[in-house]
């Protein structure tokens, strides 16, 4: 019985007919019924994780093994892919592979950082907004409405243009564009969680309101945010690359996938397909990897 | 030939030795209320789902027969149950969640009538209001226009009963129909069910863990534990002369002072023998085999070797 | 002097036209070490009353006196939390699913400043034993516990600060029949050992009968009858109490079909008629019930009843 509040999920509810076996049976039996290995149950997650794993290895170790991405070798320009230059060379004779590997370090790191900061900041605001409600909640909601009214890419574009082109600024701008997602997501979960009995239990154990919100409610409200974070990491890479392609944010001669695609795009017409294709392909694969992970990451894995 | 006859129903988890129901059988005659009693995990809900052809994914029917009015419902080829929309209906424990929250109460009943009795919508609407009256709702017209969230639990349950009876079913399965309701409302619902059974001659399978409810409503009883029929007989037989150690245990549980320090051992669903063996005060080696139902009275049976083991242990 | 004295307690949710009076003027006493059962059906306000007593909700009106001290806005303070605690209805839900048992249990000790750091482990072990569990449970999370075990942990958590009063809101309603008996027995043994008082809220009369010393019956925000447990069950006086007890299904085959069936349903608390709130369903209703509000009066030496028909009968 709640007087006007949202209805909490009923944890003590046995036997809703027609549910899946795992939810129905005692844990000992449910384990049997869902005995399929992870790669069969969630193939996308595994594929995505493998690809991401490869990227991380490349990003961390790669730059130690490949050459300097800035070294130019004018005599060697526009060479196609060969054993010396796996991805060929660009118009300055730079090794495209080396550049792509260094760009991987940059882009993957940026993608993860943006997702991380957006999630941390967004969920903190979401918890405060959802748990304490009142005028704070009203203000936060209206602000997120405003931010979400702009397409993320456009917003990031405008912000970077305003604060200047640099890597930290790009991270800040794109993070700001994605924070509202996490605010909304966390807040929604918090609204449901705060009606549950363990919140009362926490109060009786002596937790003040801030501790209840951050120590108890927040950890239980982050589930959907982790999924969103995986997706946001992928989108962030696309956004950053897209901005760089337009010449905003990260600019040449920094080795960044979007920059490389921008530099290599005109080469396609003249037949040097490798300068744009490889970095472009890496963007796509990275974004897809994060997308797969986010799509298949469910409550049962977290 | 009984109205509903269930024999040797065996249900298990796919690709697993776990058997959730083992050779379960009982009958329901017209105008009779038959109780299926057990604690949670006894398989009583699973049995009702099996009969209705509503087993969840991952659970399969391994053996058994279910006949309704003489007609076999189990398809010999696929081992699945043909659903019997209007001859056998079910009402559930949580009335509000069993009703469609986006549809008005009267409309939900009317749809059942349109689909199952091929009524025209005008006629169905009027009949729906009539049914709401019959299940004891004052101001039936107003309630028919209401949405489930505007109605109390007791009202929702009456709506669900009206929906179930709209098909004029031969058998009604009631799975813990009043467990979520206040006790005074429960008394009203029991009264209603009795009235309707007397009026229509529908057979009722009444599933619950509440022994008092069984005593109040049922003519005959089947006691279930761990998917095994422990005892079966008339209400009087089982309640005044229980013969299975589990039944006595169940009756005592209500009053008994227990040692609070001791936690309870759960059922082992992969066990081949008697499912109560690990807790039974009379357990011995014969119990490693699945006990058949031995007769202990006129139509009264108990699945315990105490009542007819071949090694002379009775 | 009673451990807890409640006078004229009102709790209204919302305001104006959508105001819902959940508790409408309740007087209550709980003695040290006793168990007061609070029974009633859904919507009667018993849960709200419990939550106000434990300080999770502020009363709209009324006075609460604990151990001689009148509380006024102090209900949410740590000092009160050390002495009045609560156990909730849904064991799985009442524990933080991301916290292990040892954290859940040590938290009140740390936050309420009940024990020094080096004493914490000892206290936790001690209370864990008191609820029938061993130290092997410390590292488990709620998901690895059965319903009964979860509730034991919840009880342990409530007992950590060694309170004088524990409010239990339907503590066994979500548990299996067989587990229920064990938890009730556990609560009784704890009471015997620690002398803690209980406010045992439940709609399940048979459970209340096994643990309560006295029983208070609530209907629509008011207490309609209070008496020692056996007296209420053997000889209920208020017409609602009688109907409530009669409606409980019993295993006694001879009482089949002898239930008092009440008409209609509980009216909504926001649309109450003037006079007695039970008037539309009461078999003893007469003129006076519709115009005047009945009040709890002593009746028969050991009980209080709120009903004109009953208390005025002697005249």
For residue A223, the chain C residue with the least C-alpha distance is: C98
Closest chain B C-alpha to A3 CA, distance in angstroms: 14
Which residues from chain C sit within 8 angstroms of residue B211, using beta carbons? 251
When scoring A26, A189, A197, A226 by the number of chain C Cβ atoms within 10 A, the one with the most, hence best to mutate, is A197
Please indicate whether, in this complex, the C-beta atoms of B183 and C41 are within 8 angstroms of each other.
yes
Give the contacts of C95 (CB within 8 A, at least 6 positions apart). Answer: A198, A201, C104, C142, C150, C153, C154, C157
Which residue in the set A12, A204, A207 is minimally distant from C54, CB to CB? A204
The ipTM of this complex is 0.90
| Chains with 3 or more CB pairs under 8 A to chain A | B, C
Tokens representing residue A188 in the block: 């929604």
Taking an 8 Å cut-off on Cβ atoms, the answer to whether A35 and B97 are in contact is no
Name the neighbours of B, counting chains with at least 3 Cβ pairs within 8 A: A, C
Reported confidence tier of residue A273, pLDDT bands at 50, 70, 90: confident
For B216, name the nearest residue in chain C, comparing CA atoms only. Answer: C256
* pLDDT exceeds 80 at position B41: no
Point out the least confidently predicted range of B58-72, C31-45, C154-168.
Answer: B58-72
**Residue B68 pairs with which residues in a beta bridge?**
B4, B71
Helix ranges (H only) for A66-151 are 96-132, 134-149
Collect all residues with Cβ–Cβ distance below 8 Å to B100 and sequence separation of at least 6. B108, B148
Q: Are C228 and C246 in contact (CB under 8 A)?
A: no
pLDDT at A17: 35
Residues of A in contact with B45 (CB under 8 A): 15, 17
Instruction: Map residue C279 onto helix, strand or coil.
Output: coil
Q: What is the b/e burial string over A60-86, where b = at least 16 CB atoms within 10 angstroms of the residue's CB?
A: eebbeebbebeebeeebebbebeeebb
Mean pLDDT of A239-256: 91
Q: What is the DSSP string of C8-21?
A: EEEEEES-GGG-EE
Give the CB-side neighbour count of residue B217, counting CA atoms within 13 A. 36
In chain A, which residues touch C (CB < 8 A)? 1, 3-4, 8, 10-12, 196-198, 200-207, 211, 216, 219-220
Per-residue pLDDT for B27 more than 50? yes
CB crowding A117-149: b at 16 or more within 10 Å, else e: bbbebbbbbbbbbbbeeeeebeebbeebeebee
Residue A189 — pLDDT band, cuts 50, 70, 90? very high
Q: How confident is the model at residue B263 (pLDDT cuts 50, 70, 90)?
A: low
Question: Which of the four pLDDT bands, split at 50, 70 and 90, describes residue A49?
Answer: very high
Cβ <8 Å between C248 and B188: no
* C-contacting chains (≥3 CB pairs under 8 Å): A, B
In this complex, the residue of B183, B210, B260 whose CB is nearest that of residue C189 is B260
Residue C65's φ and ψ, nearest 5 degrees, are -115, 125
pLDDT recorded at residue B237: 93
Which range, of B124-128, B307-311, C151-155, C173-177, averages the lowest pLDDT? B307-311
* Residue A98 · residue A251 · CB < 8 Å: no
| Helix/strand/coil for C29 | strand
The mean per-residue pLDDT over the stretch A267-274 comes to: 87
Element at C255 (helix H, strand E): none
Q: Cα(B43)–Cα(B59) distance, rounded to whole angstroms?
A: 12
Contacts of A154 (CB under 8 A, 6+ apart): none
Answer positive or negative: Cα dihedral of B34, B40, B46, B49: positive
| Residue B158 · residue B135 · CB < 8 Å | yes
- Residue B261 touches partner C, C-beta closer than 8 Å: yes
Q: Within 10 A of C284 (CB to CB), how many other CB atoms are there?
A: 15
CB proximity B279 to A under 8 Å: no
CB pairs < 8 Å spanning A and B? 54
Are A207 and C111 in contact (CB < 8 Å)? yes
B84 min Cα distance to partner chain C (Å): 32
CA dist., res. C181 & res. B253, Å (int)? 7
Q: What is the structure's pLDDT at A76?
A: 80
What is the C-alpha to C-alpha distance for residues C63 and A77, in angstroms, rounded to an integer?
A: 89
Predicted pLDDT at A69: 81
Average pLDDT over residues A40-62: 89
Interface of C with B in 41-80 (CB under 8 A): 41-42
In which band, very low, low, confident or very high, does the pLDDT at B257 lie, cut at 50, 70 and 90?
low
- Please give the pLDDT value at position A85: 83
Q: If 0-12 CB within 10 Å is exposed, 13-18 middle and 19+ buried, where does residue B108 land? A: buried
8 Å CB contact of A4 and C47: no
Strands B300-302 and B88-91: unpaired
Tell me, letter by letter, the H, E, C secondary structure of chain B: CCCEEEEEEEEEECCCCCEEEEEEEEEECCCCEEEEECCCCCCHHHHHHHHHCCCCCCEEEEEEEEEECCEECECCCCCCECCCCCCEEEECCCHHHHCCCCCCHHHHHHHHHHHHHCCCHHHHHHHHHHHHHHCCCCCHHHHHCCCHHHCCHHHHHHHHHHHHHHCCCCEEEEECCCCCCCHHHHHHHHHHHHHHHHHHCCEEEEEECCHHHHHHHCCEEEEEECCEEEEEEEHHHHHHCCCCHHHHHHHHHHHCCCCCCCCCCCCCCCCCCCCCHHHCCCCCHHHHCCCCCEEEECCEEECCHHHCCCCCCC
Q: Do C14 and A3 touch (CB under 8 A)?
A: yes
Among B185, B213, B262, the residue with its CB nearest the CB of C249 is B213
The kind and range of the H/E element at A150 are none
CA angle A162, A164, A168 (to 5 degrees): 115
CB proximity B174 to C under 8 Å: no
As a whole number, the mean pLDDT across chain C is 90
Percent of chain A residues topping a pLDDT of 90: 62
pLDDT exceeds 50 at position A13: no
Tokens 């009256």, located at residue: B133
Please tell me the predicted confidence (pLDDT) of residue B116. Answer: 81
Buried b (16+ CB within 10 A) or exposed e, A225-253: bebbbbbbbbbbbbbbbbbbbeebbbbee
Under DSSP, is residue A227 helix (H, G, I), strand (E, B) or coil? Answer: helix
In chain A, which residues have their Cβ closer than 8 Å to the Cβ of C157? Answer: 201, 205
C99 at interface of B, judged by CB pairs closer than 8 A? no
Q: With 70 as the cut, is the pLDDT of residue C82 above it?
A: yes
B59 touches chain A (CB under 8 A): yes
Is B17 or A12 the better-scoring residue by pLDDT? B17
Alpha-carbon distance C96 to nearest alpha carbon in chain A (angstroms)? 5
Rounded to whole angstroms, the Cα distance separating C227 from B89 reads 45
Residue B291's nearest CA partner among B278, B307, B269, B267 is: B307
Give φ, ψ of A158 to 5 degrees.
Answer: -60, -40
Bridge partners (DSSP) of residue B7 are B65
Among B14-23, B255-264, C283-292, the minimum mean pLDDT is found in B255-264
Mean of the pLDDT values across residues B88-92? Answer: 90
Residue C4's DSSP bridge partners are: C30, C66
Tokens standing for residue C248: 């409980």
**Mean pLDDT score, A19-39:** 52
Which residue from B203, B206, B218 is spatially nearest to B3, judged by alpha carbons? Answer: B203
Query: Can you tell me the mean pLDDT for C18-27?
Result: 91
Among candidate residues B41, B13, B14, B24, the one with its CA nearest the CA of residue B267: B41
pLDDT at residue A15 is higher than 80: no
| Residue A114: closest CA among A160, A149, A146 | A160
B219: number of Cβ within 10 Å: 17
Chain A residues whose CB is inside 8 A of the C108 CB are: 204-206
Tell me if C98 and A202 make a contact (CB, 8 A cut-off): no
Across the B:C interface, residue pairs with CB atoms under 8 Å apart total 100
Query: Which residue's entry shows tokens 């397409």?
Result: A151
Alpha carbon distances (Å) from A150 to A147, A177, A186, B110, B250: 6, 9, 21, 47, 65
The C-alpha of A89 sits at a distance from chain C's nearest C-alpha, in angstroms, of: 52
> Between chains, do A4 and C14 touch, taking CB under 8 Å as contact?
yes
Q: What is the mean pLDDT of chain B?
A: 86
pLDDT > 70: percent of chain B: 93
Q: Which residues of A touch C160 (CB under 8 A)?
A: 205
- Burial of B313 per CB tally in 10 Å (0-12, 13-18, 19+): middle
Separation of alpha carbons C145 and C151, rounded Å: 9
Res B258: pLDDT: 55
The answer to whether the Cβ–Cβ distance between B235 and C253 falls below 8 Å is yes
pLDDT per position as a tens digit, C187-228: 999 999 999 999 999 988 889 999 999 999 999 999 999 999
Phi first, then psi, for residue A165 (nearest 5°) are: -85, 115
Closest Cα in chain A to B60:
A21
Instruction: Give the Cα separation of B175 and B93 in Å (integer).
Output: 6
Q: What is the mean pLDDT of chain A?
A: 85
Question: What number is the average pLDDT over the span A145-158?
Answer: 93
What is the predicted pLDDT for the residue at C242? 92
Q: How far is C78 from chain A (nearest CA, A)?
A: 6
Nearest to A196 among C93, C99, C157 (CB): C93
CA nearest B149: which of C219, C20, C264, A2? A2
β-pair partners for B297: B300
The residue of chain B with its CA nearest to that of C187 is: B260
Q: What are the Cα distances from residue C76, in Å, to B12, B51, B157, C84?
A: 52, 53, 40, 10
Contacts of C229 (CB under 8 A, 6+ apart): C37, C208, C209, C212, C213, C214, C215
């Amino acid at each position: 019985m709640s007087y006007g509040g949202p209805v909490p999920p009923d944890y003590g509810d046995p036997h809703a007919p027609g549910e899946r076996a795992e939810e129905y049976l005692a844990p000992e039996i449910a384990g049997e019924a869902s005995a399929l290995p992870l790669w069969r149950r969630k193939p996308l997650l595994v594929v995505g994780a493998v690809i991401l794993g490869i990227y991380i290895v490349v990003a961390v170790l790669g730059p130690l093994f490949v050459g300097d991405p800035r070294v130019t070798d004018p005599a060697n320009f526009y060479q196609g892919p060969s054993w010396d230059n796996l991805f060929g060379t660009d118009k300055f004779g730079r090794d495209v592979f080396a550049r792509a590997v260094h760009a991987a370090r940059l882009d993957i790191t940026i993608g993860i950082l943006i997702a991380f900061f957006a999630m941390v900041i967004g969920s903190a605001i979401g918890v405060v907004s959802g748990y304490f409600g009142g005028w704070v909640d009203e203000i936060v909601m209206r602000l997120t409405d405003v931010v979400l009214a702009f397409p993320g890419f456009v917003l990031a574009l405008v912000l970077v243009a305003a604060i200047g082109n640099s890597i930290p600024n790009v991270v800040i701008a794109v993070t700001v564009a994605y924070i509202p997602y996490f605010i909304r997501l966390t807040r929604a979960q918090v609204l449901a969680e705060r009606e549950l009995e363990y919140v009362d239990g926490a109060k009786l154990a002596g937790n003040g309101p801030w501790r209840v919100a951050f120590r108890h409610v927040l950890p239980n409200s982050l589930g959907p945010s982790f999924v969103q974070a995986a997706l946001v990491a992928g989108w962030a890479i696309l956004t950053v690359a897209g901005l760089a392609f337009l010449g905003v944010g990260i600019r040449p001669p920094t080795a960044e996938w979007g920059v490389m695609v921008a530099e290599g795009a005109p080469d396609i017409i003249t037949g040097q397909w490798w300068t744009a294709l490889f970095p472009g392909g890496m963007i796509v694969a990275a974004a897809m990897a994060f997308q797969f992970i986010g799509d298949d990451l469910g409550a049962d894995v977290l | 030939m009984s109205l509903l006859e269930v024999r040797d129903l065996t249900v298990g988890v796919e690709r697993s030795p776990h058997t959730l129901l083992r050779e379960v059988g009982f009958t329901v005659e017209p105008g009779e209320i038959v109780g299926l009693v057990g604690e949670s995990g006894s398989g009583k809900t699973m049995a009702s789902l099996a009969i209705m052809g509503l087993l969840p994914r991952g659970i399969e029917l391994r053996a058994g027969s279910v006949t309704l009015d003489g007609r076999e419902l189990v398809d010999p080829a696929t081992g699945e149950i043909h659903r019997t929309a209007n001859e056998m209906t079910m009402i559930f424990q949580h009335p509000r969640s069993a009703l469609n929250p986006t549809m008005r109460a009267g409309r939900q009943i009317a749809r059942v009538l349109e689909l199952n009795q091929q009524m025209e919508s005008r006629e169905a609407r009027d009949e729906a209001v009539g049914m709401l009256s019959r299940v004891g709702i004052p101001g039936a017209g107003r309630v028919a226009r209401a949405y489930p969230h505007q109605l109390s639990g007791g009202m929702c349950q009456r709506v669900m009963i009206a929906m179930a009876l709209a098909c004029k079913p031969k058998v009604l399965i009631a799975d813990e129909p009043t467990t979520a309701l206040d006790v005074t409302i429960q008394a009203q619902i029991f009264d209603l069910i009795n009235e309707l059974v007397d009026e229509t001659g529908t057979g009722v399978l009444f599933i619950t863990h509440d022994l008092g409810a069984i005593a109040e409503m049922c003519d005959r009883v089947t006691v279930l534990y761990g998917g095994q029929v422990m005892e079966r007989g008339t209400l009087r037989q089982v309640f005044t002369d229980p013969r299975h150690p589990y039944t006595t245990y169940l009756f005592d549980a209500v009053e008994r002072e227990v040692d609070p320090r001791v936690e309870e051992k759960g059922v082992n669903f992969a066990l081949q023998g008697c499912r109560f063996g690990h807790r039974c005060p009379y357990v011995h080696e014969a119990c490693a085999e699945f006990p058949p139902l031995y007769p202990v009275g006129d139509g009264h049976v108990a699945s315990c070797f105490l009542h007819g083991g071949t090694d002379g242990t009775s | 002097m009673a451990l807890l004295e409640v006078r004229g307690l009102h709790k209204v949710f919302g305001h104006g036209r959508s105001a819902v009076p959940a508790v409408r003027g309740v007087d209550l006493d709980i003695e040290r070490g006793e168990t007061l059962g609070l029974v009633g059906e859904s919507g009667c306000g018993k849960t709200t009353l419990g939550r106000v007593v434990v300080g999770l909700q502020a009363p709209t009106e009324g006075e609460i006196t604990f151990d001689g001290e009148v509380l006024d806005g102090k209900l949410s303070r740590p000092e009160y939390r050390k002495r009045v605690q609560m156990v909730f209805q849904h064991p799985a839900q009442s524990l933080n699913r991301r916290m292990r048992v040892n954290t859940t249990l040590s938290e009140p000790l740390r936050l309420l400043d009940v024990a020094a750091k080096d004493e914490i482990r000892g206290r936790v072990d001690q209370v864990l034993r008191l609820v029938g569990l061993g130290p092997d449970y410390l590292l488990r999370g709620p998901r690895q516990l059965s319903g009964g075990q979860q509730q034991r942990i919840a009880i342990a958590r409530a007992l950590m600060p060694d309170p004088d009063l524990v409010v239990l809101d339907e503590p066994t309603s979500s548990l299996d029949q067989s587990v229920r008996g064990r938890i009730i027995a556990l609560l009784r043994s704890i009471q015997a050992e620690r002398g803690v008082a209980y406010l045992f809220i439940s709609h399940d009369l048979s459970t209340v009968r096994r643990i309560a010393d006295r029983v208070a019956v609530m209907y629509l925000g008011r207490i309609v009858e209070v008496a020692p447990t056996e007296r209420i069950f053997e000889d209920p006086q208020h017409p609602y109490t009688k109907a409530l007890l009669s409606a409980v299904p019993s295993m006694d085959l001879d009482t089949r079909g002898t239930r008092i069936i009440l008409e209609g349903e509980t009216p909504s608390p926001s649309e109450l008629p003037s006079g007695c709130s039970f008037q539309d369903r009461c078999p003893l209703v007469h003129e006076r019930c519709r115009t005047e509000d009945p009040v709890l009066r002593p009746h028969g030496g050991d009980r209080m009843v709120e009903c004109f028909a009953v208390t005025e009968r002697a005249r």
